[in-house]
């Protein structure tokens, strides 16, 4: 196979000879799923024969002799595809099928799982290096989404350069005090007592203004900055808890924890130091739809946190692949019903059944149940009738900085809201 440099030179050569009216130039990266496991199962020599066979199949399919070994598990190739989208899709689907055909090597029949990422060289502003990088990113996305073939799309993935700029600004914002926590109250339905708050991180950018979390949290997760951000949030929540206690209120501070951190033993060590320095009532909210890759490590970390007095909450229950097995495996104290079901509670025929069954499930497992997304008194009253333990939402209290939260607690706003939304308001 050729080198990466030779592949890029071949791209330029194809660009000069392609018929732009009937063809589109593409760079394709073919990847073998779990190649390390394949190599461990069949040995280094046979695994290399697998890659050589894939190279021959690509050459035979594309009539192209310029395949390049980009990585131990990846092969790159430049070729022309039909000008229309349907033709591109069909051609690459056929290539994928051809590559996944079983191969017989040294008398052994082998089958490997293949992913294909590709980028179309449609813009004259793109360099050959840009197109190859985009194809490699498309392969990563194909693996993450379990798609056999994936086209790179700036609209879907964003602009990598913009992400780098955002990452630099995010690092500077975290170090420069631009981050803040807002606290949304969680209230007991029966008594109106504020039992805790959920800490919601906000970024007050000096130029962009208030940046929504969905614009910077994914970047933080993808780059590993989420650990520093989470540790900052825990420390800030514990500092604010001291301020709230000094004002005469002792409540639980809920902090969202990315599932990526549940496989990081150093995160556990650093969290222990923060808790010992500033003891406080903490709840760590783990998103139910998050993928936990190392379950034994995650369970060990969560059990250790629980032993230190940290409550574990399964957040957004119902938003992902909800299962009883998931709930049973985690050493949880609390179950939070996803707001999607709560916001439609009084207008849907199915959602009340789902919410009621979730409340009953939580109670059967000796968990407290929290419903978030409460927007009106009717929803609050219905959840109270269903036996939901705690509620959270704009009707109960908006996310607010710590000084405003103390005033909210002093006024007893939560008791007034729950008292005015008694179950009787649903009758007549």
DSSP 267-296: HHHHHHHHHHHS---EEEEEETTS--S-HH
Rg of the chain (C-alpha set)? 27
- Tell me: domain 162-426, CATH 3.40.630.30, correct? no
Taking only the tens place, the pLDDT of each residue in 345-368 is 887 777 788 899 999 999 999 999
H-helix segments, 247-376: 265-277, 295-307, 324-329, 339-342, 351-364
- Asked which of 46-50, 161-165, 189-193, 239-243 is least confident by mean pLDDT, the reply is 161-165
392/159: higher pLDDT: 392
Kindly indicate the confidence band of residue 322, based on its pLDDT and cuts at 50, 70 and 90: very low
Cβ–Cβ contacts within 10 Å for residue 155, how many? 6
| Rounded CA separation 392/252 (Å) | 14
Q: Which two tokens stand for residue 91?
A: 């051609």
Phi, psi for residue 179 in degrees, rounded to 5:
-85, 150
Contact residues for 258 (Cβ-Cβ < 8 A; gap 6+): 221, 226, 230, 287, 290
Element (H or E) spanning 419, and its range?
helix 413-420
- Tell me: domain 4-158, CATH 3.30.70.270, correct? yes
Q: Looking up tokens 């203004």, which residue turns up?
A: 209
Kindly indicate the confidence band of residue 425, based on its pLDDT and cuts at 50, 70 and 90: very low
Residue 116 pLDDT exceeds 80? yes
Which among 157, 168, 164, 163 has a CA at the least distance from the CA of 134?
Answer: 157
| Rounded CA separation 204/192 (Å) | 32
Q: Which residues pair with 204 in a beta bridge?
A: 210
> Can you give the pLDDT at residue 291?
59
Secondary structure (DSSP) of 19-62: -TTTEEEEEEEEEETTHHHHHHHH-HHHHHHHHHHHHHHHHHHH
In the chain, what percentage of residues exceed pLDDT 90?
Answer: 43
> Can you give the pLDDT at residue 155?
63
Inter-CA distances, 166 with 21, 173, 223, 224, 300, Å: 38, 10, 11, 14, 34
| Rounded CA separation 65/254 (Å) | 58
In the chain, what percentage of residues exceed pLDDT 70?
Answer: 90
> Can you give the pLDDT at residue 236?
96
Phi, psi for residue 172 in degrees, rounded to 5:
-65, -40
* Cβ(135)–Cβ(27) below 8 Å: yes
Inter-CA distances, 146 with 35, 36, 38, Å: 15, 18, 18
Taking only the tens place, the pLDDT of each residue in 213-257 is 877 887 888 778 899 999 999 999 999 999 999 999 999 999 999
Q: Read off the pTM.
A: 0.67
Residue 65 pLDDT exceeds 80? no
To the nearest 10 degrees (0 to 180), the angle between helices 225-246 and 265-277 is 20
* Cβ(219)–Cβ(164) below 8 Å: no
Q: Give pairs for 231-237: CB < 8 Å, separation 24+.
A: 231/267, 231/270, 231/271, 231/274, 232/174, 232/179, 233/179, 233/181, 233/199, 233/201, 234/271, 234/274, 234/282, 235/274, 235/278, 236/181, 236/199, 237/181, 237/199, 237/280, 237/282
Can you give the residue ranges of every domain in the chain? 4-158, 162-426
Secondary structure class of 153 (helix, strand, coil): coil
């Amino acid at each position: 196979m050729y080198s990466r440099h030779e592949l890029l030179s071949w791209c330029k050569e194809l660009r000069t000879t392609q018929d732009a009216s009937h063809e589109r130039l593409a760079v394709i990266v073919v990847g073998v799923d779990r190649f390390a496991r394949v190599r461990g199962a069949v040995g280094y020599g046979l695994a290399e024969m697998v890659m050589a066979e894939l190279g021959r199949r690509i050459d035979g399919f594309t009539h192209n002799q310029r395949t390049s070994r980009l990585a131990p598990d990846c092969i790159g190739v430049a070729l022309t595809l039909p000008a229309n989208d349907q033709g591109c899709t069909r051609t690459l689907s056929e290539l994928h099928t051809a590559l996944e055909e079983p191969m017989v090597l040294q008398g052994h029949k082998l089958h490997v799982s293949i992913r294909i990422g590709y980028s179309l060289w449609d813009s004259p502003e793109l360099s050959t290096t840009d197109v190859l990088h985009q194809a490699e990113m498309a392969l990563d996305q194909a693996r993450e989404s379990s798609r056999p073939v994936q086209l790179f799309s700036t609209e879907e993935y964003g602009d990598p350069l913009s992400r780098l700029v955002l990452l630099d600004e995010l690092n500077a914002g975290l170090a420069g005090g631009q981050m803040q926590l807002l606290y949304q109250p969680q209230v007991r339905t029966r008594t109106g007592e504020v039992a805790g708050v959920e800490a919601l991180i906000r970024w007050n950018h000096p130029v962009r203004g208030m940046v929504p979390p969905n614009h910077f949290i994914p970047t933080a997760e993808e780059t590993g900055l989420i650990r520093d951000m989470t540790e900052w949030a825990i420390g800030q929540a514990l500092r604010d808890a001291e301020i709230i206690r000094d004002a005469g209120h002792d409540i639980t501070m809920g902090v969202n924890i990315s599932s990526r951190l549940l496989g990081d033993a150093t995160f556990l060590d650093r969290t222990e130091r923060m808790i010992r320095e500033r003891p406080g009532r903490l709840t760590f909210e783990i998103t139910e739809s998050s993928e936990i890759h190392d379950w034994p490590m995650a369970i060990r970390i969560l059990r250790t946190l629980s032993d230190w007095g940290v409550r574990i909450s399964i957040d957004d229950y119902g938003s992902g692949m909800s299962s009883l097995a998931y709930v049973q495996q985690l050493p949880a104290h609390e179950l939070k019903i996803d707001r999607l079901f709560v916001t439609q509670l009084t207008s849907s025929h199915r959602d009340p059944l789902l919410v009621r069954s979730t409340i009953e499930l939580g109670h059967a497992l000796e968990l407290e149940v929290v419903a978030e997304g409460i927007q009106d008194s009717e929803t609050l009253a219905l959840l109270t009738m269903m036996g939901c333990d705690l509620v959270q939402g704009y009707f109960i209290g908006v996310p607010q900085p710590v000084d405003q939260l103390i005033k909210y607690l002093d006024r007893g706003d939560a008791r007034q809201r729950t008292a005015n939304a008694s179950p009787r308001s649903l009758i007549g």
